[in-house]
A and B are shown apart, each in its own frame.
Chain A
Amino acid sequence: KQEVTQIPAALSVPEGENLVLNCSFTDSAIYNLQWFRQDPGKGLTSLLLIQSSQREQTSGRLNASLDKSSGRSTLYIAASQPGDSATYLCAAYRSGSARQLTFGSGTQLTVLP
């Protein structure tokens, strides 16, 4: 059974700092890996999708990497802003026909102005 772990559970940084969020998964036979953002009381916003054949994806100030052999993914946020404050979730797509997502517990990020 796939297990996804995110470290740290919470992170507080001053505005402008670069930061890295970590995600690890136990079963390397994943299909894709996706990073999401969730604001309090809201649904999920997709940030980046890394397909199984890829090693990283970039969008603006965000960069996500995937190392299937070590069971790790990282989300790098450059020049953090207060508007980046949210909970960040990584999710691994299960192998098999249904392709459900298994979520990590999330990292709650606070960027202080």
Chain B
Amino acid sequence: GAVVSQHPSRVICKSGTSVKIECRSLDFQATTMFWYRQFPKQSLMLMATSNEGSKATYEQGVEKDKFLINHASLTLSTLTVTSAHPEDSSFYICSGGELDYGYTFGSGTRLTVV
């Protein structure tokens, strides 16, 4: 099945700095990937849909200038949290795959902004 690799698994950064999270498709070509955010004890909320070679589509309420998504190749999508603040601390998960087989998810990135 489709395998999605996400790095880093955990990152701590200072307030005001930027953090990049990578999501790679290892055994399939990902024209579309999805980025989710999960707060403690809550479910996953879709942030944006990443499209290879074009602009990402952001969900309502998600700041596109805050959460920069780049999908320059069929195997790599990145999410950059710019000028991070403590309220950006969360669990970020990417997803991709083939629709008829169900999407698979990365292992997630725990971001802590101090």
Contact = CB atoms under 8 A, between A and B. Distances in A.
Interface of A: 31-32, 34, 36, 41-46, 49, 51, 89, 91, 93, 98-106
A55 to B, nearest CB: 17
Contact of B99 (A32, A43, A105): A32
A42 B6 CA distance: 12
Interface of B: 6, 32, 34, 42-46, 49, 57, 91, 93, 95, 99-108, 110
Given A44-B93, A99-B99, A104 B106 contact: no
Contacts of A105: 42-43
Contact of A32 (B32, B102, B104): B102
Main secondary structure of the interface of A (DSSP, over half): strand
A88 to B, nearest CB: 11
Contacts of B42: 105
B101 A49 contact: yes
Contacts of A42: 107-108
Main secondary structure of the interface of B (DSSP, over half): strand
A101 B34 contact: yes
A41 B102 contact: no
A24 B68 CA distance: 33
Given A43-B93, A100-B49, A106 B43 contact: yes
A107 to B, nearest CB: 11
A101 B95 contact: yes
A101 B49 CA distance: 11
Contacts of A102: 46
A46 B102 CA distance: 8
A31 B103 contact: no
Contact of A93 (B43, B91, B99): B99
Nearest to A93: B99
Contacts of A106: 43
A44 B105 contact: yes
A48 to B, nearest CB: 8
A108 to B, nearest CB: 9
Contacts of B100: 51
A31 B49 contact: no
